[in-house]
Structure 1
Amino acid sequence: MTLDVPAAAKALLQAYRTGEPVEPLAKQVEGLDIDGAYAIQLAQVEQWLAGGAVVKGHKVGLTSAAMQQQLGVDQPDFGHLTDGMFHSESEVIDISAFLQPRVEPEIGFILGKPLSGPGVTLEQVADAVEWVVPSLEIIDSRVRDWKISIVDTIADNASSGGLVLGTARAKLSDVDVVETTGSLKVNDSIVGTGKGSAVLGNPLSAVAWLANVLGERGVSLEAGHVVLPGSITAAVAVSDGDEVVATFDGLGTVTARFGKVSG
């Protein structure tokens, strides 16, 4: 079929509501390209905003060489983070709210100043970052069995699901985000390790890329917004009862606990 942005957005929104994933859009929509995929993503965001949601930041995906190679692309992608996606370390995250969740450890940033591209430099990003924070991103896919191409994940809000920010805060001047190492532990077993350089060589590069790509679309990153720049390890699937801890040297830890929440 030809591209029908409202229909594609409706199908993905229905997957959120029903928990029933859709077949890959790349196989359903003839000639679906990146611009069309972002149009589908933005149509969903508009629906969320109309329902009272608030954009609180963005995530950057496909920042590792391995993931770019897997999907046959040479660039990252981005998605929107709304207020309902944020979870605290003190709560049990309802596993039933997701279709096929995975977690990723990330060196997150909280901006103290806005960033408006194009032309944003690493120096401007460094000046805009107010806090560095240990983070766990919950990625999820409304596409069946994670059978995604670049256009599938973009249309699906860059496979966003949720996030947990640690309580620790550090100034950028006190953290070498390129050399910072971290580990991902699920139920007391370490399942992955990595360091900041896994994210485009420098996590700040992901923020610059995001600001510049959004700037081309007339959108700025706002002060107070959270930016998740990409994972330092491979993503790991989680299920009911799992406890996930990401530990970053010199930065601290962040914990996410998953369970079934009644009511």
Structure 2
Amino acid sequence: MDNNKIEQYGDELYEAFVARRAVPPLLSREPDITIEDAYRIQQRFVARRLAAGETVVGKKIGATSKPVQDFLGVYQPDFGILTSGMVYHEGDTIDLGGLIQPKAEAELAFVLKHDLKGPGITAMDVIRATDYVLPCFEIVDSRITNWQIKIQDTVADNASCGVYVLGKTKGDPRKLDLTLAGMVLEKNGEIFSTGVGAAVQGSPANAVAWLANTLGELGIPFKAGEVILSGSQSALVPVVDGDELVCTVGGLGSCRVKFSGRSAA
């Protein structure tokens, strides 16, 4: 795909983000689009957000667990860039008016104390480089109509990044069993789903290592202080005005988030 089209679709996704409206799937209009093309479109989309004043604060891994893959019809991991405009903290209420068609997923966030650059990174390297882990929610949001996405669509759309919420409880990954730690997701006081760290590529640390190596091949490092979202351990949860979600990770703690307003779709 030539640079003009890369910029065209990156700009279209950025404008859809600003206007809070969805656009037709890219793959339906460009059947020959490759994943490499899609990542170039993502770079353009993110560059527009940075030009508008945001900064890069981390990275995220998407489509790592079977429930999410089954829902999306996307069967390989992808990644996106986290920016300063996406950050919420426990206790904040998320205004759905800033999103299009949001769905929440519960996962583990890694906050780094050292830079990390692949290839050759192992899960143990990830643990050593991590300052602490937190329970968190990622509120994914698609700029593609009705979530009609294939891998190329979600990659171009910055891995369907919406916003994310970090819990307050910090855990030392050297003292937690990230693989076997259970996660319970409650919606409005009732259990919605349960999961375990092993659902994410065998361990959330494995998923982070995969991303470090994938980005390392592109010359992109993890930076000290960055947040790395390791991938959903839950099914995707639709959210509307008044909903409250709580995810609890065994041995670590909980993250709670509330929602208000009405999303664009």
TM-score, L = length of structure 1: 0.95
For residues 243 and 117 of structure 1, the distance between their equivalents in structure 2, rounded to whole angstroms, comes to 38
1:162 is matched by which residue type in structure 2?
A: V
Residue correspondences, number: 261
1:165-184 map, 5 Å: 165-184=166-185
What are the superposed Cα offsets for residues 102-149 of structure 1, whole Å, 9 maximum, x if unpaired?
A: 111101111111110111112211110110111111101000111110
Cα contact 1:112–1:128 (8 A) shared by 2 = yes
1:109 is matched by which residue type in structure 2?
A: F
The alpha carbon displacement at 1:67 in A equals 4.2
Cα contact 2:68–2:232 (8 A) shared by 1 = no
| Segment drifting more, 10-19 vs 228-237 | 10-19
For residues 161 and 49 of structure 1, the distance between their equivalents in structure 2, rounded to whole angstroms, comes to 15
The alpha carbon displacement at 1:69 in A equals 6.0
Match of 2:228 in 1: 227
2:152 is matched by which residue type in structure 1?
A: V
For residues 66 and 226 of structure 1, the distance between their equivalents in structure 2, rounded to whole angstroms, comes to 23
Match of 1:164 in 2: 165
SS at structure 1 position matched to 2:174: helix
| Segment drifting more, 72-81 vs 174-183 | 72-81
SS at structure 1 position matched to 2:259: strand
1:86 is matched by which residue type in structure 2?
A: V
Cα contact 2:88–2:163 (8 A) shared by 1 = yes
Pairing 1:84–2:85 present: yes
Cα contact 1:89–1:257 (8 A) shared by 2 = no
Match of 1:210 in 2: 211
For residues 72 and 171 of structure 2, the distance between their equivalents in structure 1, rounded to whole angstroms, comes to 34
Match of 2:103 in 1: 102
Match of 2:17 in 1: 16
What are the superposed Cα offsets for residues 127-175 of structure 1, whole Å, 9 maximum, x if unpaired?
A: 1011011111110100011111000000011011011110100111221
The alpha carbon displacement at 1:90 in A equals 2.1
**What is the root-mean-square deviation of aligned Cα atoms in Å?**
1.7
The alpha carbon displacement at 1:19 in A equals 1.9
Match of 1:132 in 2: 133
| Segment drifting more, 192-201 vs 46-55 | 46-55
What are the superposed Cα offsets for residues 168-192 of structure 1, whole Å, 9 maximum, x if unpaired?
A: 0011122111001011111111111
Match of 2:61 in 1: 60
Pairing 1:4–2:5 present: yes
Match of 1:254 in 2: 255
TM-score, L = length of structure 2: 0.94
2:110 is matched by which residue type in structure 1?
A: F
2:199 is matched by which residue type in structure 1?
A: A
What are the superposed Cα offsets for residues 10-42 of structure 1, whole Å, 9 maximum, x if unpaired?
A: 111121122220111111113011000000101
Unmatched tracts of structure 1, length 5 or more: none
| Distance verdict in 2 for CA 1:185–1:66, change over 3 Å | closer
The alpha carbon displacement at 1:80 in A equals 0.6
| Segment drifting more, 25-34 vs 70-79 | 70-79
For residues 235 and 76 of structure 1, the distance between their equivalents in structure 2, rounded to whole angstroms, comes to 16
2:46 is matched by which residue type in structure 1?
A: V
1:230 is matched by which residue type in structure 2?
A: G
SS at structure 2 position matched to 1:4: helix
| Segment drifting more, 118-127 vs 136-145 | 118-127
For residues 241 and 70 of structure 1, the distance between their equivalents in structure 2, rounded to whole angstroms, comes to 24
1:75 is matched by which residue type in structure 2?
A: Q
Unmatched tracts of structure 2, length 5 or more: none
Match of 1:195 in 2: 196
For residues 68 and 90 of structure 2, the distance between their equivalents in structure 1, rounded to whole angstroms, comes to 28
Cα contact 1:118–1:211 (8 A) shared by 2 = yes
SS at structure 2 position matched to 1:172: coil
| Distance verdict in 2 for CA 1:195–1:143, change over 3 Å | same
The alpha carbon displacement at 1:65 in A equals 3.6
- Give identity over the alignment, percent: 43
| Distance verdict in 2 for CA 1:30–1:74, change over 3 Å | closer
